[in-house]
Amino acid sequence: MSILEVTIHKEFEYLEKVLPKWNSLKEKYNEITIFQDMSWIKSWWYCKSRQKNISPYIIEITDNKKTIGVIPLYIDLIRFARLDFRILKPIGSEVSDYLIPIISKDYSPEVLLSIAFKKIYEDKINWDYINWGDIPEDSFFSQFLSKQMLNKHRLIKKKKADACPFIKVSNEIEEVKCKLDENLLKKILSKEKKLNNKGKLSFTKVMSEREIEPVMNKFFELHIERWGRTDTPSKFLRAEERQHAMIAAKNLFKSNLLFLAYLSFNNEIIAIEFGMSDGKKIYLYLPAFNIKFRNYSVGNLLNYYIILEACRQGYDVVDFLRGDEKHKQEWGTIEKYNVKYEIYNHSLRSLLFKYVNEYNKSKLFIFIIDKLSILSRKLSI
């Protein structure tokens, strides 16, 4: 007989105790991606918790004490009008592309999510707002929240977010090539030929741990150089961002999830892809290329080699992740979308924040909220 229980844990270390290992996770849990793997989560937490004062809020669902569901969240604080609002977000926010609860395939997602959210709403004294983005639009989680909107339509809002294009691949390489834009393919093959006529062009995938650090350091160098001359300089100018990426790469490698590949020309690295793979999908996470070789479209050339590698190695999908840039469409991608949900509760503080979100551009409203915040402290809401 099932005895379902939901527990909220406030220590990050507890997550490692309850979150299944990757092999079990991908086989026994619904719609899992590498962004639910503990190696990715740990690197994110290590760096994020040093940048901001955040608190774990980890939901565990059990059946007779056996873990069957995990929802890794954290609490972030936003100060407005002298009042701190507590925002619940999924662990991995902002740097992950697909974030959904971790739910066992042996149970109804709707049943487990219903009891989990019942527990979260009962704990409304400890949070004011849930900001959950990067949810695949066609996922079981989005479907669940859409149904919840019917009952709590004033407390849940859904917004369309980023496009996440991907290409399906197979071992039929010529068929896959036919999906590519004809002009793009001609350009790639022309650039490839020119480089091969001038020297040796090589594609390499990092296969050992000792290779990670020098390749990642080169990745940072190229990324900084490429974006240093624009209005949006590379985030890797910041030491904490370089540290986060390095830790993530090493952790992913230990979980056999790292896809770090590069092109070299006459032994000089000219393009790098810091990505991930789970045996079925390759995720193109972050690219960098040598600006000395920009006339050879080495970023596109590296993508082409990765797609060929995916075909040869039996992958099903190459995922370009979020962003609807035109150059991604040239690869014959299929477009899917992420969505974002904003969730409030019936507490006065939560409703206050709802109006803050909706009317924060109004000077009159800010004045009113300032007065209400003084009153709220007196009432200890």
332 belongs to a structural domain: no
Residues 197 and 126 in one domain: no
Residues 190 and 225 in one domain: yes
- What's the pLDDT score for residue 368? 59
Residues 137 and 179 in one domain: no
Per-residue pLDDT of 212-244, as tens digits, reads 999 999 999 999 998 876 778 899 999 999 999
Query: Which pLDDT tens digits describe the chain residue by residue (381 residues)?
Result: 789 999 999 999 999 999 999 999 999 999 999 999 999 999 999 999 998 999 999 999 999 999 999 999 999 998 877 788 999 999 999 999 999 999 999 999 999 999 999 999 999 999 999 999 999 999 999 999 999 988 777 899 999 999 999 999 999 999 999 989 999 999 999 999 999 999 999 999 999 999 999 999 999 999 999 887 677 889 999 999 999 999 999 999 999 999 999 999 999 999 999 999 999 999 999 999 999 999 999 999 999 999 999 999 999 999 999 987 888 888 989 999 999 999 999 999 999 888 878 776 455 555 655 655 555 555 554
The end-to-end CA distance of the chain, in Å, is 40
Return d(Cα 29, Cα 114) in angstroms, integer: 17
106 belongs to a structural domain: yes
Return d(Cα 153, Cα 41) in angstroms, integer: 32
Residues 204 and 301 in one domain: yes
Residue 360's Cβ-side half-sphere holds a number of Cα atoms within 13 Å equal to 9
DSSP structure class, residue 294: G
- What's the pLDDT score for residue 370? 60
Tokens of 230: 């624009």
> Nearest to residue 354, comparing CAs of 87, 94, 55?
87
Residues 86 and 128 in one domain: yes
Residues 186 and 97 in one domain: no
Domain count for the chain, please give it.
Answer: 2
> Are 62 and 107 within 8 A, CB to CB?
no
324 belongs to a structural domain: no
Tokens of 171: 């071992």
Return d(Cα 127, Cα 78) in angstroms, integer: 12
Residues 307 and 188 in one domain: yes
Burial of 285 from C-beta contacts in 10 A (0-12 / 13-18 / 19+): buried
330 belongs to a structural domain: no
- What's the pLDDT score for residue 41? 96
| Per-residue H/E/C for 59-78 | EEEEECCEEEEEEEEEEEEE
> Nearest to residue 124, comparing CAs of 310, 360, 370, 349?
349
Per-residue pLDDT of 189-211, as tens digits, reads 999 999 999 999 999 999 999 99
234 belongs to a structural domain: yes
Residues 60 and 153 in one domain: yes
Return d(Cα 215, Cα 187) in angstroms, integer: 27
327 belongs to a structural domain: no
Residues 233 and 365 in one domain: no
Residues 88 and 55 in one domain: yes
250 belongs to a structural domain: yes
Q: What interhelical angle do 182-198 and 298-312 show, nearest 10?
A: 100
249 belongs to a structural domain: yes
The owner of tokens 């206050």 is: 352
Residues 54 and 195 in one domain: no
Residues 50 and 139 in one domain: yes
- What's the pLDDT score for residue 231? 73
Tokens of 311: 């075909």
Q: What is the CATH number of the domain that holds 346?
A: 3.40.630.30
Range of the domain at 347: 4-161+339-379
